[in-house]
């Protein structure tokens, strides 16, 4: 594959694009910035792949089992909850 980096007309360089992807994914860009980024992503395979990798990283994080409090703490809290109702 010939790796053809961005053309200057796009407004953003690849080095800039990699810093903007979270802003892009969170919908926090102005319409103009968003359009310029999308122009870049449309012809830069490197940045499109990078965006996909960030998406994959975020979605894989969603598969990590979250830490939970131990059962004895839950039990103690349940007791406190019951006690709350008692006079």
Site for other proteins, rule CB under 8 A = 1, 3, 5-6, 13-16, 18-19, 21-23, 26, 28, 44-47, 49-50, 52-54, 56-64, 66-70, 73-74, 76-78, 80-82, 84-85
Closer residue to other proteins, CB minimum distance, 31 or 67: 67
Closer residue to other proteins, CB minimum distance, 37 or 47: 47
Long-range contacts from 33-41, C-beta under 8 angstroms, 24+ separation: 36/10, 36/11, 36/12, 37/12, 39/10, 39/11, 40/6, 40/10, 40/11, 40/12, 40/14, 41/17
């Amino acid at each position: 594959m010939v790796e053809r980096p961005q053309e200057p007309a796009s407004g953003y360089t690849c080095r800039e694009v990699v810093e903007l992807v979270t802003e892009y994914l969170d919908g926090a860009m102005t319409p103009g910035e968003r359009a310029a980024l999308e122009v870049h992503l449309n012809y830069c395979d490197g940045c499109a792949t990078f965006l996909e990798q960030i998406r994959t990283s975020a979605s894989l994080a969603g598969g990590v089992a979250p830490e939970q409090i131990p059962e004895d703490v839950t039990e103690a809290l349940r007791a406190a909850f019951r006690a709350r109702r008692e006079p």
